């Protein structure tokens, strides 16, 4: 079965910019157009802060179903965030000579998601329809290709094609109120927030969480899950009164919820695999927004911005149970882990740049 998946992975088109689209020196961009599904985490993690740094440069945000007929194409630089639909692609094709450039930004190994066995078929169909099907036409127009991580860039790179890194650039997060320091109740909230694409991580955590909940009667567990994954969580030997299974939320609702409802302990496992190996460490941002103490898998993804005081462990049940014990029983350890991950967000900012790689804007050439 794996050999079949590998073959499918190799057959799926990948983004490439063509030699013809790279020719010539382009004038600085006068304005920026971002095409994306709104709202979504890719825009929040990677684009919002960079857009804010553009000062007086006009920025236009368009959803996938929005018309572009009212957009001035002269000197316009276009960023396509993961997806594009036919009408917008045709608009770009007809106006390419007037544009300052077209960049495609990708933060997932989408062929790996499609060839893998974790994503749902409706999600795979959406990826095929809006991320893969346009590529043969889109690749002929691309002047820039941006990936979220070095590993993902390596999967896209080939002879003569440069892939730039557009690393996560989170907003500065203010420390949450000192809820841990002032804790007067023994109750602790432990969370695992992930989509159905992380089925293996859900399955890995189920017996671990069940054992931890049995040992630590003061824990309440919250997990986001739908469908068969939610049903499997309900079948675990966990007191239903101490476990909350929430359906997946739209991105804007998730942002609001994690900002308003904190957590004490956040679980962030990441198992080895083609899809996970290309991921960035943006889960840190969500965890810091909640003010939680995190447990991370020891892997290249989370090593990237690791700081002293964080908890990074191997993917064995024994190590995860021991780490949960430390946080459930140690208030000072929770404070240290929480504060360390907040520091790692600042490290993430320092490791990135506000620039859009390879793009010059009128009056902002120093950002190029």
Closest CA to 329 of 217, 175, 241, 208: 217
At 1, the pLDDT band (50, 70, 90 cuts) reads confident
CA 251/CA 282 separation, integer angstroms: 14
- The dihedral over CA atoms of 145, 146, 152, 158, expressed in degrees to the nearest 10, equals 30
User: Residues 22-41: what's their mean pLDDT?
Assistant: 83
**Which CATH number goes with the domain that contains 294?**
3.40.50.2000
pLDDT at 35: 97
**What residues make up the domain containing 109?**
2-169+352-367
pLDDT at 30: 95
**Whether residue 157 sits in one domain with residue 70:** yes
280 domain-assigned: yes
DSSP-derived secondary structure letter, 128: I
**Whether residue 257 sits in one domain with residue 121:** no
Residue 193, CA distances (Å) to 42, 85, 110, 319 in order: 16, 30, 21, 20
Q: Which residues contact 351 (CB under 8 A, 6 or more apart)?
A: 167, 304, 305
Q: Are 321 and 267 in contact, with CB atoms under 8 Å apart?
A: no
pLDDT at 195: 87
User: Residues 132-159: what's their mean pLDDT?
Assistant: 92
**Whether residue 127 sits in one domain with residue 83:** yes
pLDDT at 3: 82
**Whether residue 199 sits in one domain with residue 159:** no
251 domain-assigned: yes
- The dihedral over CA atoms of 356, 357, 360, 366, expressed in degrees to the nearest 10, equals 90
Q: Which residues contact 340 (CB under 8 A, 6 or more apart)?
A: 307, 308, 309, 310
**Whether residue 228 sits in one domain with residue 154:** no
User: Residues 314-320: contacts with CB within 8 Å, 24+ apart?
Assistant: 315/204, 315/269, 315/271, 315/272, 317/207, 317/208, 317/211, 320/205, 320/208, 320/267, 320/269, 320/295
**Whether residue 209 sits in one domain with residue 156:** no
Q: Are 352 and 168 in contact, with CB atoms under 8 Å apart?
A: yes
User: Residues 261-278: what's their mean pLDDT?
Assistant: 95
User: Residues 296-301: contacts with CB within 8 Å, 24+ apart?
Assistant: 296/268, 296/270, 297/268, 297/269, 297/270, 297/271, 299/270, 299/272, 300/151, 301/149, 301/270, 301/276, 301/277
Strands 76-81 vs 59-62: parallel, antiparallel or unpaired: unpaired
At 158, the pLDDT band (50, 70, 90 cuts) reads confident
180 domain-assigned: no
Reading phi first (left if > 0) and then psi (alpha if -120 to 50, else beta), residue 84 is in beta
Please spell the DSSP secondary structure of 293-340, one letter per residue: EEEEESSHHHHTT--TT-EEE-S-HHHHHHHHHHHHH-HHHHHHHHHH
pLDDT at 52: 93
User: Residues 89-112: what's their mean pLDDT?
Assistant: 95
pTM of the model: 0.91
301 domain-assigned: yes
At 303, the pLDDT band (50, 70, 90 cuts) reads very high
User: Residues 50-62: what's their mean pLDDT?
Assistant: 94
**Whether residue 359 sits in one domain with residue 307:** no
316 domain-assigned: yes
Chain mean pLDDT for the chain: 91
Rg (CA), the chain: 22
**Whether residue 121 sits in one domain with residue 67:** yes
182 domain-assigned: no
Has residue 247 got a pLDDT over 50? yes
**Whether residue 248 sits in one domain with residue 302:** yes
At 173, the pLDDT band (50, 70, 90 cuts) reads confident
CA 105/CA 354 separation, integer angstroms: 15
At 365, the pLDDT band (50, 70, 90 cuts) reads low
34 domain-assigned: yes
pLDDT at 176: 60
Q: Are 327 and 266 in contact, with CB atoms under 8 Å apart?
A: no
102 domain-assigned: yes
**Residues found in the chain:** 368
pLDDT in tens, 57-82: 999 999 999 999 999 999 999 999 99
**Whether residue 201 sits in one domain with residue 162:** no
Tokens linked to 336: 């240290």
Express as a percent the part of the chain with pLDDT over 90.
80
**Whether residue 121 sits in one domain with residue 18:** yes
**Whether residue 357 sits in one domain with residue 332:** no
Split into its structural domains, the chain has a count of 2
pLDDT in tens, 185-241: 479 999 999 988 999 999 999 999 999 999 999 999 999 999 999 999 999 999 999
For 60, other C-beta atoms within 10 Å of its C-beta total 16
CA 51/CA 30 separation, integer angstroms: 13
H/E stretch holding 221? strand 219-224
Has residue 366 got a pLDDT over 50? no
pLDDT in tens, 307-346: 999 999 999 999 999 999 999 999 999 999 999 999 999 9
CA 306/CA 359 separation, integer angstroms: 30
CA 309/CA 324 separation, integer angstroms: 15
């Amino acid at each position: 079965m794996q050999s079949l998946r590998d073959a499918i992975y190799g057959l799926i088109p990948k983004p490439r910019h063509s030699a013809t689209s790279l020719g010539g020196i382009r004038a600085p961009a006068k304005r920026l157009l971002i095409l994306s599904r709104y709202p979504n985490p890719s825009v929040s993690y990677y684009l919002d802060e960079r857009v804010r740094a553009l000062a007086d440069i006009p920025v236009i945000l368009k959803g996938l179903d929005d018309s572009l007929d009212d957009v001035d194409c002269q000197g316009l630089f276009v960023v396509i965030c993961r997806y594009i639909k036919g009408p917008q692609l045709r608009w770009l094709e007809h106006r390419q000579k007037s544009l300052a450039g077209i960049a495609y930004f990708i933060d997932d190994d989408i062929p790996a998601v499609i060839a893998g066995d974790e994503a749902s078929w409706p999600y795979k169909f959406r990826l095929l329809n809006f991320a893969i099907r346009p590529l043969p036409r889109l690749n002929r127009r691309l002047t820039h290709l941006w990936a979220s991580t070095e590993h993902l860039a390596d999967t896209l790179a080939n002879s003569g094609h440069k892939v730039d890194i557009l690393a996560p650039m989170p907003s500065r997060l203010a420390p949450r109120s000192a809820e841990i320091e002032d804790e007067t109740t023994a109750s602790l909230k432990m969370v695992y927030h992930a989509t159905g694409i992380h089925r293996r991580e859900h399955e890995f955590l189920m017996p671990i969480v069940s054992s931890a909940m049995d040992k630590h009667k003061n824990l309440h567990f919250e997990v986001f899950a739908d469908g068969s994954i939610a049903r499997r969580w309900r079948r675990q030997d966990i007191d239903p009164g101490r476990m909350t299974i929430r359906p997946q939320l739209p991105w804007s609702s998730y942002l609001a919820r994690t900002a308003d409802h904190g957590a004490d302990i956040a679980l962030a496992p990441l198992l080895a695999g083609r899809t996970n190996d290309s991921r960035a460490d943006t889960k840190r941002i969500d965890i810091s927004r909640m003010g939680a103490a995190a447990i991370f898998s020891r892997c290249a993804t989370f090593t990237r911005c690791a700081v002293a005081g964080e908890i990074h462990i191997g993917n064995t049940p024994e190590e995860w149970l021991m780490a949960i014990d430390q946080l459930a029983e140690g208030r000072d350890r929770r404070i240290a882990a929480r504060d360390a991950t907040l520091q790692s967000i600042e490290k993430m900012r320092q490791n990135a740049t506000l620039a859009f790689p390879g793009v010059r804007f009128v009056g902002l050439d120093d950002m190029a």
